[in-house]
Every structure is written in structure tokens, then in C-alpha cells.
Amino acid sequence: MSLNLDQKKTVVSSVSESLTDAKAAVLAEYRGLTVEQMTNLRTEARNNNVYFKVIKNTLAKRAVEGTDFASLSEHLTGPVAFAASEDPVAVAKVISNFAKDNDALKITAGVMDGNPISEAEIGALAKLPSRDELLAKLIGTMQAPIQKFVSTLNEVPSSFMRTLGAVRDAKPADAAAAEAKPAEAEAKPDDAQATEAKPDDAESSEAKPDEAPAADE
């Protein structure tokens, strides 16, 4: 079914808009893919924020004309699907991974940052971590010390309460020890009196010489 002029303009505008912020684009021949396979490829692209479009070559050439992706024009032959993304790794992963599982999809050309890239380079790009994966790792790395800090903060009140409890439990024991010391101090004068009683025994010992002369009489 052929498109009218307005529809063609809409398609060209859609592709041109997708290239505005795109860092990379990939062309792939889809001859031999079933409708179900193409639907799965579109879904995979959408889930990874990759623009995917099956477009007539003449319209695709108009869309890339005057852009960093103009070099793709010479590869726009046959039934070709167009994919583009702000994340070069994402678009490379979607197309390369799908091509591995579906031999009918053939990568024909690519462009990244205005420079043409080969199928091998697209495959190598697909093996790198995507931007979302890198961000997830970065966030995880940043959260680790933060989580440790929060855990430490949460532990401070518990530690403080345990310390207060230990101090509170120690106070009765200290008070009991303090009360015991005066009692010991009061007991010491009795011992002194017992010690002073010894001179009385000495006096009785001194009385014995007085009794001794009475025996001579």
C-alpha cells in the first residue's frame, strides 16, 4: 500500500526527529523474517528505548540527508529496517542480539557519532554494558557507603540506650557500697576499746606482788 504525500512527510519527519538526539543508528536487512519475528524485534527495541522503523529507502534517504547519518544512504537498498538511539550500546545490543537468534536479520551498516561503523564494530559495541547498566552499577556503588552510614546512625540510639542502661544498673550497686563503708568505720572503735582493756589485765598482774608478802607471815 503506497503512502500519500502527507503520510510520506510524516514518516520522514518521524525518522528525522529520532536522529535529533541519536548517537548511533544501525541498518539491518529483514528479508525472510516473519510478522511475529518483526513484532518481537519492535517490542525489544521499544523496551530498550531504541527507535525502530521499517521505511522505504527513498524516504529514509530524505530523512538522513544533511545529518550525521548521511553516510547510511549508500546502504539503503532492499528491505531495510532502521534503528537509532541516544545510547549506542543499546541499539547495537537490540539488533545484534536479535540477529544471533534470527539468521534472517542481516546487519548492513551503522553510524556512531557521525562515523561509519562495520558489522564487527557493532557486534563489539553490543558486548559493552549499556548506559542503564552502568548507571545501575554506579548507583549501587554510591549507595553502599550511604547504607553503611545510615546503618551506623541507626545504631547510635541503640548503643546510647544500652550505655544509659548500664549506668542506671550500676548506680544501686555503687550506693550500696557507699552505705557499707560507714558501717565498717563504726565497727572499728569497738576494736579499739577491746585493745584498751588490756591495761586492766596488767593491773591485776601487778597486784600479785602485794599478795606474795602475806605468805611469808
50-72 per-position pLDDT tens digit: 999 998 999 999 999 999 999 99
CA angle 31, 33, 38 (to 5 degrees): 115
Number of continuous H segments (helices) and E segments (strands) in the chain: 7, 5
> pLDDT (tens digit, 9 = 90+) per residue, 119-129?
999 999 999 98
CA separation, residue 57 to residues 9, 20, 43 (Å):
14, 19, 22
> pLDDT (tens digit, 9 = 90+) per residue, 76-96?
999 999 999 999 999 999 999
Q: Tell which CATH classification among 3.40.50.1220, 3.20.20.450, 2.30.30.90, 3.30.70.1730 matches the domain 5-128.
A: 3.30.70.1730
> pLDDT (tens digit, 9 = 90+) per residue, 13-39?
999 999 999 999 999 999 999 999 999
The grid coordinates listed for 213 are 608478802
Q: How far apart are CA 132 and CA 137, in angstroms?
A: 9
Q: Calculate mean pLDDT across residues 101-107.
A: 94
Q: Judge contact between 94 and 48, C-beta under 8 A.
A: yes
Q: Is the dihedral of CA 64, 66, 72, 76 positive or negative?
A: positive
Chain mean pLDDT for the chain: 78
Of 115-129, 174-188, 189-203, minimum mean pLDDT range: 189-203
Q: Calculate mean pLDDT across residues 186-215.
A: 46
Q: How far apart are CA 105 and CA 99, in angstroms?
A: 5
- Segments of the chain assigned E as strands: 24-29, 51-54, 80-85, 106-112, 115-117
Q: Judge contact between 113 and 67, C-beta under 8 A.
A: no
Q: What values do phi and psi take at 104, rounded to 5?
A: -70, -20
Which are the contacts of 6, defined by CB distance < 8 A and separation ≥ 6?
none
Closest CA to 87 of 134, 141, 27: 134
